[in-house]
Amino acid sequence: MKKFIFLFLVLSTLKLSAQEVNIIPVPVQLDIKQKTAAFTIDQNTLIIAPDSLINSISFFTDYLSKYYGIVIGRDSTFNKKDNVIKLQVNTIKTLNPDRYELFSDDKQIQISASSPKGIFYGIQTLIQLLPYSRKAFPVQIPSVSIVDYPRFDYRGMHLDVSRHFFDVAFVKQYIDYLALHKMNYFHWHLTDDHGWRIEIKKYPKLTEIGAWREGSIIGLWPGKGNENIKYQVLPTEVKITPKDAVVKTDGIKHGGYYTHEQIKDVIDYAAKRYITIIPEIEMPAHSMALLAAYPELGTEPNKKYKVAQTWGMMNKYNNVLQASDTTFKFLENVLTEVMDLFPSPYIHIGGDEAAKVWWKQSAVSQQIMKANGLKTESELQSYFIRMIEKFVKSKGKTIIGWNEILQGGLAPNAVVMSWQGEKGGIEAAKQTHKVIMTPEDKFYFNHAQFVQEDSLTAGKASLLADVYQYDPLPAELNTEQAKYIWGGQGCLWSEYITNPVKVQYQLFPRLDALSEILWSPKNKRNYPDFKKRLTTQFKRYDLMGITYSKKYLEN
């Protein structure tokens, strides 16, 4: 009987070492050693690593304990040669701090990099080499040799917490999803028409009033649409005139916000995963929640503003700030608190969808334009953004804005996030500004994943194949201009996403496609191969209790 068990373990080890290795994003170089036995992780396995790598050590050991019930120890000396996982910094010569090398055989696993961040990315690959079943026995790692590094420096994902609020526990979970996919920026959309989500001590009414709305729209905006759970996704949004729209709200109070202490906690959590959080404070439009608290900052100061209950505010509701000295002083105080909280060198200031009609009909706005020699409302938009950019720069930070900040002239040091296709990004790159590509038709994951969707989403589709096959480097740019394409980002707007399970459903597996676009070499990307590797990834999501669409298993 003992001989039989021994033979079973030997055969299962050799079988695992020869199995397919499915890693997302696909590495730069991957060599599977078919004739070398697998490495077995058990209670006697040790991680050999210095204290400086505690972030990577903790992430891996926590994962191992949570999903496999194995607790392993650590040693900082490198004397032991067998049954060890070695993490070593400064053992490879590279100028890229994200690069790592991973080697495994039956005796040990080695992850080497020139920085702790590179080690962390190696850990994410190691996790994908683990078996995807909690019942796996023994827990083994196939023998491989990997050299890997990212294609783009900016690999981002966004979460809108204004339309629907998500608590700190879930925001941390969301950050873990990004870490597992080697993403390095989290764009936290903290303010909008539908809720102000960050405590500002100098202006308490922002959260006392601005963080809460009296209800939320029912069904697909603008109110008259197919509200059944089965509906056809249209290639463009349905154009419905206001007189046709039937807007109904649920009358349920919704809101919440993050305190300074909570935000510091989330920032620290992300930093341990080598993720930079970029906060977004929307201006000059998308400011209805702000105006509900401080109406004197609007173009209609005697108006009684309310936190918005419906989506699609542009032109229909006046959500635009006045470009006055009073407004700028207010925003400078807000941004000072925000920048003091967030160590990120970047702050997102929005700048999108500012309907010029509200400035056009405001006598004060027209006086401001005249006093500053501005001929058009687009120039007023540029004036607004330049004033904010100048202040942010004085604090040693850089602004990021949606592509509308190009209107009327781009602020000197601004980074452009191009969401209305590639045009704004191409224009900004030609002006030698950093660009983050996030085209709505490809990278907006609040859109439907299928032409026939099984739950309410925005009335557009961003299909997995279209996401995967997009390349952030536009063909129109020459080699020098292409250097300004910093990377790309996915966006998750929460109009129709009310709970964490729906976030997961909308995120996966499009986040997998995004991670491969931004990390892997272009010549390594292959959609049929990606879909094959997804079958393993889905089993890993099953292990982790992550929701995704089962439709992908049918195709």
Chain segment 38-64, per-residue pLDDT in tens: 999 999 999 999 999 999 999 999 999
Per-residue pLDDT, 34? 87
Q: What is the pLDDT of residues 96-128, one digit of tens each?
A: 899 999 999 999 999 999 999 999 999 999 999
Q: What is the pLDDT of residue 9?
A: 42
- What percentage of residues in the chain have a pLDDT greater than 70? 91
Q: What number of CA atoms fall less than 13 Å from residue 551's CA on the CB side?
A: 15
Question: According to the 3-state scheme, what is the secondary structure of 349-372?
Answer: EECCCCCCHHHHCCHHHHHHHHHC
Judge whether 401 and 385 are in contact, CB under 8 Å.
yes
What residues pair up with 507 in beta bridges, in sequence order? Answer: none
CB 190 within 8 A of CB 280: yes
Q: In this predicted model, what pLDDT tens digit does every residue of 431-485 receive, in sequence order?
A: 999 999 999 999 999 999 987 777 788 878 899 999 999 999 999 999 999 999 9
Tell me, what DSSP letter sits at residue 38?
Answer: P
Burial 88-110 (b: 16+ CB within 10 A, else e): bbeeeebeeebbbbbbbbbebbb
**DSSP string for residues in 66-110:** HHH----EEES-----SSEEEEEES-S--S-TT-EEEEE-SSEEE
Which residues in 357-393 are b (16+ Cβ under 10 Å) and which e? ebbeebeebeebbeeeebeebbbbbbbbbbbbbebbe
Per-domain residue ranges for the chain?
2-148, 154-528
Nearest in space to 39 (alpha carbons), one of 119, 109, 111: 109
- Give the residue ranges of DSSP H helices in 276-422: 288-293, 325-341, 357-360, 363-371, 377-394
Whole-number percent of the chain with pLDDT over 90: 80
Class of domain 154-528: alpha beta
Identify the pLDDT of residue 555: 59
Please indicate, yes or no, whether the overall pTM of this predicted structure exceeds 0.85.
Answer: yes
* Bond into 27 cis (ω within 30): no
pLDDT at 460: 86
Say if residue 69 is exposed, middle or buried (CB neighbours under 10 Å; 0-12, 13-18, 19+). exposed
Residue 197, classified by CB atoms within 10 Å of its CB into exposed (0-12), middle (13-18) or buried (19+), is: buried
The terminus-to-terminus CA distance of the chain in angstroms comes to: 44
Strands 346-350 and 139-141 turn out to be unpaired
Residue 74's nearest CA partner among 61, 62, 64 is: 61
CB 445 within 8 A of CB 512: no
The pair of three-digit structure tokens given for residue 66, joined into one six-digit string: 């949570």
Q: CA 175, 179, 181, 182 torsion: positive or negative?
A: positive
pLDDT value of position 4: 40
Q: Does 520 have pLDDT greater than 60? A: yes
Nearest to 395 by CA among 329, 328, 336, 331: 336
Six token digits for residue 479: 């080699």
d(CA 448, CA 333): 39
DSSP track, 236-279:
S-----TTT----B----EE--B-HHHHHHHHHHHHTTT-EEEE
Confidence label for 246 from pLDDT (cuts 50, 70 and 90) = low
* For residues 281-293, average pLDDT: 97
Tell me which fold the domain 2-148 belongs to.
Chitobiase; domain 2 (3.30.379)
Q: What pLDDT was estimated at residue 228? A: 39
Burial of 542 (0-12, 13-18, 19+ CB in 10 A): middle
Burial group, residue 473, by CB count within 10 angstroms (0-12, 13-18, 19+): middle
pLDDT of residue 456: 83
Distances (CA, A) of 259 to 158, 251, 377, 378, 535: 20, 26, 36, 35, 40
Could you tell me the sign of the dihedral formed by the alpha carbons of 348, 354, 356, 360, in that order?
negative
Distance separating alpha carbons of residues 551 and 391, to the nearest angstrom: 49
Catalytic residues: 192, 286, 353
Residue 1 above 70 pLDDT?
no
pLDDT of residue 314: 64
- Category of 384 on φ-ψ map: left (φ > 0), alpha (ψ -120 to 50) or beta: alpha
Around Cβ 422, how many Cβ atoms within 10 Å? 22
* pLDDT(181) > 50: yes
